[in-house]
Structure 1
Amino acid sequence: MAAAGGFLLGLDLGTSSVKAVLLEAGAQRGAPVPTASASWATEAEVPPSGPAGPQGREQDAGRILRALGQCLGALPAGGLRRVRGIGVSGQMHGVMFWKSCQACTWTERGPHRIFEPQQVSHLITWQDGRCSGSFLASLPQPESHLSVATGFGSATIYWLLHHSPEFLKPYDRAGTIQDYVVAMLCGLQRPLMSDHNAASWGYFNAESRSWNSHILEESGFPTHMLPDIAEAGTIAGTTSHEWFGIPQGTRVGVALGDLQCSVYSCLSQSTDAVLNISTSIQLAASMPPGFKPAKRPDPLAPVAYFPYFNRTFLAVAASLNGGNVLATFVTMLAQWMRDLGLDVVESLIYSKMIQAALAQTDTQLTISPTLLGERHLPEELASVSSISPSALSLGHVSRALCRGIIQNVHAMLPSQQLKEWGIDRLIGSGSALTRNEVLRQEVEKAFPFSISYGQDVDAAAGAALVMLRESAREAS
């Protein structure tokens, strides 16, 4: 079924689903074609515990692991027995807690051994909103080029320390959900955390690759809970037990960020940039070796720099306004029609909207589509300008809306800046871009590069490819 070299297993523990892929050991980076893959919805959302209130966002770690088990159970048993490396990525920023000596139990489940969580908290996710602006302003200033926001692990721990200190008492370790999985697989008493995930928590200095320990300790932060730091792409350990047929002693990489793994799955050259348009938008490019971001965070900057691989950084313009804006527009039209006594399904409205926009190749109408604001401009609202009687058709409005979505992300990270960084090709991916020819036309107008479509980002495949790279490096 595969080359003699066996397989690499990639796992991604996402916000709403888990994915697992088996990748042949001879696969080529930049064109990962999994031999087998499976995904499973986690359905892990639970009411927030304690005083977090409706702003809290929590998930049941046990449900996430059961979804992971469903994915592994759907993969070929013969392939799992030949896995020689496991790469793990997952949702960033979030935090969960566990007791180091009692964090899981290994049990027999059918023909395999699995681990089940014990003495663990809920996962408080990146979507958590319990840290208000005033609370964040009361925290010590980090020594980092990245700002701290609500949903970031360190900010959540500060909040618990101030509002629910008894919550922390049963635990002595903390990490992301993917850090927990790696620690349990490898039997690590003290978890390891990649610089990907550490930077997403805040209070991490990417240049020295270390926590802001002195700042945290002086403010009473429980630093004993923090994981040790490991460079992204390194090996965390080996499996301490057979797991779903995967042999004991199989190498496991330190857990990675899903953003970086998604980009890595299709960014085959340093001269490529990735534009992913789904619900939201990410435009990302790897920075050249030696690049260093500013030492202090700039909350008004539209581009953030995240640790990537080989001690480089990934420049990311992450817009909150993508396919969700088009979906809101379609929902609005559907509601107007219902108000007029007509009932039209939204899929038909979307199809007609795209047809009208394709027929209307240009428009003077201008739409700024920032319905949700942006992280660097949270108070920004959407607007429409240059309105005239001749520019009120569905075609004009739909064309202007698609153009506005692309122009918005282009304003955050202009094509001229990408050229200065040496970018000469754009990899276009994401469900919204795939199904919308008008968006693709506007991308090609805004970004004067060679553009390649058809390869969607895949964090699980990216995690497997990182392990492939490490295997190749050791072999050489």
Structure 2
Amino acid sequence: MEREVVAVLGIDLGTSSVKVVLLPDGHSHVRDTRAEVPSAAAPQGREQDVRKIIRALNECLAAFPKQQLRRVTRIGVSGQMHGVVFWKTGQACKWTESESGRMFEPAEVSHLVTWEDGRCSKEFLTSIPQPQSHQSVATGFGCATIYWYLKNSPEFLERYNAAGTIHDYVVAMLCDLKHPRMSVQNATSWGYFNSRDKCWNADILRGSGFPVSLLPEIAESGSTAGSTSCEWFSVPSGTEVGVALGDFQCSVYSCMTDTTDAVLNISTSAQLTFSMPSGFEPPETPNHRSALAYFPYFDGNYLAVAASLNGGNVVATFVRMLTQWIAELGLDVPESTIYTQMIKAALLQSSPTLVINPTIFGERHAPDHLASVSNIAATELSLGHVTRALCCGIIQNLHSMLSAQQLIESGVKRIVGSGSALSRNEVLKQEVEKAFPLPVVYRKDVNSAVGAAMVMLHRM
């Protein structure tokens, strides 16, 4: 009798969608979460309904044939970094039966405050303690958000006794963890974490009244968090679950085949990264003015990262603006049509003299440096000209954070392009190839769910 081939499930809980992939088959399902909700606490807040995120996850799992899920022996999980969700252990979810199998739904859980959250002003960030870490603290970081609640709504924190990223929450529910476990990757993204010593800045936090009991236990990136406490859909009870990982690191893991590769990802935001030499240690204190950050990777290694807050979200904002203008003129044109037509028009234009600095969301190293338009000429106001200038600006902004010369001097020989915004935008691709005089290859199968599954395949 032939032995059935085992499989690994990879899950990514992204900013706008959930993706689940099965390896080695490669079968996958994606669902948009549509989870954005208004923030009652702060006008600049960006929050998501955890119930909608888990509903999308459940829909992805339900779409797989049961016989495929019965073969799963390991689960890898990644998700959007920096954000924080709070829950009450023992009451954070309820398990129910459905036609597709056993699944959980959120119960005593807060909204997810995402990485895009803007409630922590520059003034607020200067009022909280400085971290003992190579990583600066920015708005949208988990610890900064907790400080905000501590100072503005302490009664909110009293409702909960655990916190983590959205993917930490999922792992904790699957494994029935009494106290969540967080990878070094996710902990660094929260701030107030020393990645050299692999520990929280507990003394600094405790001294300022921070509720350190909310902080998760730390685990090595790539290690096991636990095993499923019961059958989940048709995934067997006792299946190994990896500690939740950063979506960025997992996307890099899925496509960086050589240490001389740089990876350019443009999805909601944008990142350009390359691998630092083995043995590299980041500085002990943050450089607030530097656009380059160092993200923990695997095996004690680091990635040098230009992490921009302005990527596909800038293009999406431009499309929404055009849609609104057209609606105000009494017309109804779908966003998809507007996007297609503006890209077509931009492909007919070459390098514009119109200059758009597209940083409408600021940058972590320069939060007050917002967008601007210059060199405006009457001859370059067509949709094609403006779209071309906008795409050029997105790439030039990244280039200002990490230049082609820096990549070459660091030994980079090739750029691997990935991300939904880049894959569907030929104008962005052209601007990448203009700005970076290196071979560029584009990968369609690059995603964090695949990377999370690959980690569990290769590293356990």
TM over 0.5: yes
**What SS class does the counterpart of residue 74 from structure 2 fall into?**
strand
Query: Which residue matches 1:375?
Result: 364
Aligned letter for 1:219?
A: S
**Counterparts in 2 of 1:74 and 1:164: CA distance versus 1, 3 Å:** same
Is residue 62–residue 117 contact of structure 1 (8 Å, CA) maintained in 2? Answer: yes
**Counterparts in 2 of 1:350 and 1:97: CA distance versus 1, 3 Å:** closer
Could you tell which deviates more after superposition, 76-85 or 323-332? 323-332
**What SS class does the counterpart of residue 466 from structure 1 fall into?**
helix
C-alpha distance in 2 between matches for 1:359 and 1:96: 45
Tell me, yes or no, if structure 1 residue 38 matches structure 2 residue 29. yes
- Provide the aligned C-alpha RMSD in A: 2.9
| Aligned-pair identity (%) | 63
**What SS class does the counterpart of residue 429 from structure 2 fall into?**
helix
Aligned letter for 1:149?
A: A
1:375-425 CA deviation, whole Å, 9 max, x = no partner? 322333444555667666666555444333322211110111112222111
Query: Which residue matches 2:20?
Result: 20
Query: Which residue matches 1:9?
Result: 9
C-alpha distance in 1 between matches for 2:86 and 2:389: 47
Cα shift at 1:96: 2.2
Query: Which residue matches 2:233?
Result: 244
Cα shift at 1:341: 9.4
C-alpha distance in 2 between matches for 1:447 and 1:3: 49
Query: Which residue matches 1:184?
Result: 173
Cα shift at 1:219: 1.3
C-alpha distance in 2 between matches for 1:402 and 1:121: 37
C-alpha distance in 2 between matches for 1:406 and 1:13: 26
Alignment partner for residue 408 of structure 2, among 419, 425, 428? 419
Is residue 62–residue 100 contact of structure 2 (8 Å, CA) maintained in 1? Answer: no
Cα shift at 1:208: 0.7
Cα shift at 1:234: 0.6
C-alpha distance in 2 between matches for 1:299 and 1:233: 29
**Counterparts in 2 of 1:444 and 1:154: CA distance versus 1, 3 Å:** same
C-alpha distance in 2 between matches for 1:174 and 1:400: 42
Cα shift at 1:231: 0.8
**Counterparts in 2 of 1:48 and 1:425: CA distance versus 1, 3 Å:** same
Q: Which runs of 5+ in 2 are unaligned?
A: none
1:57-113 CA deviation, whole Å, 9 max, x = no partner? 333333322222111111121110000100011122222223333333444334633
Cα shift at 1:324: 4.3
**What SS class does the counterpart of residue 309 from structure 1 fall into?**
coil
Could you tell which deviates more after superposition, 155-164 or 144-153? 155-164
Query: Which residue matches 1:267?
Result: 256
Q: Within 5 A, what are the aligned runs for 1:145-160?
A: 145-160=134-149
Could you tell which deviates more after superposition, 192-201 or 307-316? 307-316
**Counterparts in 2 of 1:387 and 1:60: CA distance versus 1, 3 Å:** closer
Query: Which residue matches 1:30?
Result: none
C-alpha distance in 2 between matches for 1:434 and 1:390: 30
Aligned letter for 2:305?
A: V
> How many residues were matched structurally?
459
Cα shift at 1:309: 1.3
**What SS class does the counterpart of residue 440 from structure 1 fall into?**
helix
**What SS class does the counterpart of residue 55 from structure 1 fall into?**
coil
Query: Which residue matches 1:287?
Result: 276
Q: Within 5 A, what are the aligned runs for 1:89-168?
A: 89-110=78-99, 112-168=101-157
Q: Which has the larger radius of gyration?
A: 1
Alignment partner for residue 72 of structure 1, among 45, 49, 61? 61
Q: Within 5 A, what are the aligned runs for 1:391-430?
A: 397-430=386-419
Could you tell which deviates more after superposition, 309-318 or 122-131? 122-131
C-alpha distance in 2 between matches for 1:331 and 1:58: 20
C-alpha distance in 1 between matches for 2:89 and 2:335: 50
Is residue 366–residue 384 contact of structure 1 (8 Å, CA) maintained in 2? Answer: yes
